[in-house]
Amino acid sequence: MSLSKFANWFKSSYSDGASNCVEVAFADDGTVGLRDSKNRKGPVLEFNRGEWAAFIEGVQSGEFER
């Protein structure tokens, strides 16, 4: 995985300025990168379109709530 394929990273507008967030980036090939904003040179989780869509659907439906 090449970090250079993820050019523009975003975080939620609800995030504070303390860098306690996750950031997301969308590559031209459709993959999605996810990283910790405190460690921008650290590991990046990479998902394909289907995996990302399933994750978003789970978040929206409350699947991950305790």
**Chain segment 5-27, per-residue pLDDT in tens:** 898 999 888 877 666 789 999 99
Strand-pair category, 32-36 with 45-47: antiparallel
Q: What is the pLDDT of residue 2?
A: 56
DSSP 8-state code for residue 25 = E
- Work out the average pLDDT over 25-30: 95
Q: Is residue 44 within 8 Å of residue 3, measured between CB atoms?
A: yes
Say how far apart CA 38 and CA 4 lie, in whole Å. Answer: 18
Lowest pLDDT segment from 14-18, 30-34, 50-54 = 14-18
Tell me the average pLDDT across 44-59. Answer: 95
The CA–CA distances, whole Å, from 39 to 28, 42, 55, 61 equal 23, 5, 22, 29
pLDDT at 40 (0 to 100): 86
